[in-house]
Chain A
Amino acid sequence: MDNHKVIDGQFATKRVSQEGQEQEWIAQAKQGSQQAFFHLYEKHHKKIYALCWRMLADKDSAEDVCQEVFVVLWQKISNFRGESKFSTWLHSVATNVVLGHLRKQKNWLQRVFSIEDQGAGQESLQEASVELTDNSTLDELDKHISQLPERARLVFVLFAIEGYRHEEIAKMLKMAVGSSKSQYHRARTLLREWLSESDMVMGEITDES
């Protein structure tokens, strides 16, 4: 019991010192220290990359947008006032950058291909599921998330993984709150269906002919 208290105390001390260290890096990065900013990158980039990958379902785009997130972070870090946790604030910056990227990409595609039927064009973009470059090392569920239609995928990632509320998601994705909820339901139904198919089990039946 006493040993547990000592171990818990050590973890708490370590966590406090890590948070203190992070605050120091943030303060130094605000002053223009690239070294401190690199430490922040080292600490957070894998989480931000995961967010980008899950929202974009494409490795190359996720890498590019993850870079963009940290460039934007460098420009905006002085806006961080410490009112929320740094990681929470960083994730909201990242989410905005990813959504901005998706909007720009759609505008670009529409301009290049001069899509006459805007409605049909948007639908096809939203519904397109993206093939991954290499998904061999991914979790089974992540592979299925990447195959979800775009809107359902975005809502699912933002709600189930990032912890946003439907009201916030609806605002971010410019949709009704009800649509956000129905897209989330659609995503869950598809995921359960696909997981059921991939979680097949071998059974035996007796043929009495």
Chain B
Amino acid sequence: MSHNKEKLSVVLPLKVSEEVLSGRVANLSSEMKPERDLWSGIEHAINQKIQQPVNNQTKSNVVPVAWAASFIAAVLISWLTFSPQMQQKSQQELSASITEKPEATEQLVTFMQQNFQQQKKAMLVSFGQPNLTQLPQAMQQELAQLAAARKSIRQALLKDNNNVDLLNLLDFTQQQELKLLTQLYRQYQVI
């Protein structure tokens, strides 16, 4: 009987012991080099923190105005939606009354828009005027979509100025944009 002896190459795993692992941990480099320059961002953030006392003064003026405006807008919307007088009127009467005075809706929409812009401005000032263009692309897109939605609703309201649902939707969209900005700031507050 003859045997064919053939040498085969195989891969053998080496069992790494606790000592070997400890040795490799001890030899890990204590330093790593970041790929991008980090200092410019830090310097920018530090300078903004230094300027913040000045900004806070501006904020202290803008915020009460924004809150007051927000309160008035909320009261107006509630009144339009829930007021007994308004509810007593039939839908037709409501349509007729607003159709008679389309400029009233237009004024309200303009007021809501100004109020929103003031709130947004106050918020960004309190966040140290972050550069929104440095946000991840997906977040920028989300903000752009909300802004586009606001614009569409506003235009729809100007055409269909007796639509209370659209008014509520506009308010909701504005609030969502402000909430998103707050969340983004908490997430990316260094930028």
**A and B pair up:** yes
Contact B189 A68 (CB under 8 A): yes
Task: Report the nearest A residue to B22, measured CB to CB.
Answer: A160
Nearest-Cβ distance from residue B168 to partner chain A, whole angstroms: 22
Cβ of B13 < 8 Å from any Cβ of A? yes
Q: Are A34 and B24 in contact (CB under 8 A)?
A: no
Residues of A within 8 A of B53 (CB): none
Contact with A along B13-54 (1 / 0, CB 8 A): 111111011001100111111111011011101100100000
Which residues from chain B contact A112 at a C-beta distance below 8 Å? Answer: 183
- In the bound assembly, the distance between CA atoms of A104 and B17 in angstroms comes to 38
Contact with B along A11-40 (1 / 0, CB 8 A): 000000000000000000000001001100
Q: Does A164 contact B (CB under 8 A)?
A: no
From A34, A47, A203, give the contact of B31 (CB < 8 A). Answer: A47
Residues 46-71 of chain B, each 1 if its beta carbon lies under 8 Å from chain A, else 0: 10010000000000000000000000
Q: Does A161 lie at the interface of the complex (its beta carbon under 8 Å from any beta carbon of B)?
A: yes
A59 sits at the interface (CB 8 A): yes
Q: Tell me whether A46 and B32 are in contact in the complex, defined as CB-CB below 8 angstroms, given that A67-B42, A67-B190, A71-B42 are known contacts.
A: yes
Cβ distance B163 to chain A, nearest Cβ, rounded Å: 29
Question: In the complex, what distance in Å separates the CA atom of A200 from the CA atom of B32?
Answer: 27
Chief secondary structure at chain A's binding surface: helix
Kindly state whether residue B9 has any CB partner on chain A within 8 Å.
Answer: yes
- Contact (Cβ within 8 A) A49 B9: no
Chain B proximity of A23: nearest CB distance (Å): 21
With both chains docked as a complex, state the minimum distance between the C-beta of A163 and any C-beta of chain B, in angstroms: 11
Nearest chain B CB to A105 CB, angstrom units: 7
Please tell me if A117 contacts chain B, counting CB pairs below 8 Å.
no
- Contact status B16-A196, CB under 8 Å: yes
Interface residues of B in 2-20 (CB under 8 A from A): 3-18, 20
In the complex, A171 has a CB within 8 A of chain B: no
Could you say which residues of chain A place their CB within 8 Å of the CB of B189? 68
Check A46 against B33 for contact (C-beta < 8 Å).
yes
Taking the nearest CB of chain A, how far is it from the CB of B141, in angstroms? 14
Quick check: which of A2-10, A120-128, A172-180, A187-195 contacts chain B, the rest being far away?
A187-195
Distance in angstroms from B80 CB to nearest chain A CB is 30
Distance, CA A202 to CA B11, complexed state (A): 5
Q: How far is the CA of A112 from the CA of B32 in the complex (A)?
A: 33
User: Known contacts A141-B28, A203-B11; is A62 also within 8 Å of B34 by CB?
Assistant: yes
Q: Which residues of A contact B42 (CB under 8 A)?
A: 41, 67, 70-71, 74
B14 near A50 with CB under 8 A, answer no
Q: Are B12 and A200 in contact (CB under 8 A)?
A: yes
Asked whether any CB of chain A lies closer than 8 Å to the CB of B188, the reply is: yes
A88 on interface, CB distance cutoff 8 Å: no
A105 touches B13 (CB 8 A): no
**Alpha-carbon distance between A195 and B13 when the two chains are bound, in angstroms:** 9
Closest B residue, CB atoms, query A197 = B13
Top-5 shortest CB links A-B: A46-B31, A50-B32, A203-B12, A195-B16, A207-B6
